[in-house]
Amino acid sequence: MTLCSRRFDEKIVIVTGGATGIGRAVAMRLATEGASVVIADVNSEFGTTTEQGVRNAGGQSQFIRCDVSRSSDVQTMVDTVMARHGRIDVLVNNAGIPGPLVPIDQLAEADWERVLSINLGGVFHCTRYALPGLLASGAGAMVNIASTFGMVGAPNTPAYAAAKGGVIALTRQLAVDLGSRGIRVNAVSPGYVDNDMDQRRDRMTPEAAAANLASREATASLQPLGRLGDVGEIAAVIAFLASDEASFITGAVVPVDGGCTAFFNLGHRQASDGKFEDSPTGHPRLRPSSGR
């Protein structure tokens, strides 16, 4: 992608979960606009590949292995950034996992705790340790990645929905606390996006992976815009919220979801002529899966 804008020239940016999916798209986007991007991710293989991809595109990047659920990892990562740069201009809290898609009476306590520790605990750890660096920036910005599943009820996602709802509440709370200290805090809630966030399809047979993608596409077709979103479309909104162009926006939760949270869908597909027809896939919210 070629951009004329250089909104992040000389900015120091941390993107957690930046090795793949939405995080990778954000890292590439902000680096293209001039940022020096730190990719913090638990996956060393993909993290190194993304770091090299940013550099091959002419950007500045550094990969640091970090498990955001571990405060010691986060502290070490932030200390490394501060030792090199002395400040943090933007923090994108993107790291997350989908967790098991089961009702609460079938959800193991260990799975509940793991999803909460990464998806919500990671935001806490990264914010806590990055705060001095954001304050040193003089105009720090934070963007947290929530989900439409944190805004509306969705079946079989108790841990994921609870964690993302917590991210939304924490975003608003931090905006209140940190606004007077010069830090803006906003959140983005992606909808159905072509983002295999835990690389689940890579571990499937080709047939199963194709069926998984087809199911997501069928669900996305029920939404007002009728398609899956692209990770680049999510990255574009994150880039705006992190930039000075959004200087009077804080505490906002922005759905980037093709209209799904605005639409009470009764299980019908809208045809191109505006009329509704029965959908063979049923109610859209009966098909949650990772990447939302």
Per DSSP, 102 falls in state -
Do 76 and 100 form a contact (C-beta atoms < 8 A)? no
Q: How far apart are the first and last CA of the chain?
A: 24
Residue 160 catalytic? yes
268 and 274 in contact (C-beta within 8 Å)? no
In this structure, the number of other CB atoms found within 10 A of the CB of residue 4 comes to: 5
State both tokens at 280. 């063979």
Q: How far apart are CA 280 and CA 155, in angstroms?
A: 19
Catalytic residue chosen out of the listed positions 8, 129, 160, 192 = 160
In 3D space, the residue among 245, 191, 253, 239 whose CA is nearest the CA of residue 92 turns out to be: 239
Helices and strands, number each (H, E), in the chain: 8, 9
Residues found in the chain:
292
Q: Tokens 């944190």 identify what position?
A: 150
CB atoms closer than 10 angstroms to residue 37: 29
* Phi, psi angles (nearest 5°) of residue 161: -65, -40
What are 12's two structure tokens?
């120091």
Positions annotated as catalytic residues are 160
